[in-house]
Amino acid sequence: MAKSRKKNKAISRDIAQERIGYLFELAKNELSQDPARSERYVALARKIGMRHRVSIPAELKRNLCKKCGCLLVPGNNSRIRLKDGRITVTCLRCSEVKRYPFRPSKTE
């Protein structure tokens, strides 16, 4: 592969990362007014990531329901519980459950 082609791929991946971040911001802002538009922004972000082979950052991916594709906002459309060293995130729309490990802080 030529040098210029590699450079173009790197540039397009950087642009894709920026667009994904911007679309997630828009989705978060639009969730209260128009949930359907918010879902569309998340779907576009995922499609851009797949097309350019760019992964969605972990902090954004945790706020995404894999089953129904909606943006998870605690207290609005998701429930978060801490129990036995795990964070449990439940989507209130489709009841999908995601679990993440965490280390509880020791109080002295």
Structural domain boundaries of the chain? 3-101
User: What does the block give as tokens for 51?
Assistant: 């097309």
The pLDDT mean for the chain works out to 90
Strand bridging mode 97-101 / 86-91: antiparallel
Q: What is the mean pLDDT of residues 30-58?
A: 93
pLDDT category, 41, cuts 50, 70, 90?
A: very high
| CATH topology (fold) of 3-101 | 1.20.5
Q: What is the mean pLDDT of residues 44-59?
A: 93
Q: Are 41 and 70 in contact (CB under 8 A)?
A: no
Question: Which pLDDT belongs to residue 1?
Answer: 58
Q: What is the mean pLDDT of residues 84-92?
A: 93
Separation of alpha carbons 105 and 108, rounded Å: 10
Separation of alpha carbons 87 and 97, rounded Å: 10
In the predicted structure, residue 8 carries a pLDDT above the cut 90: no
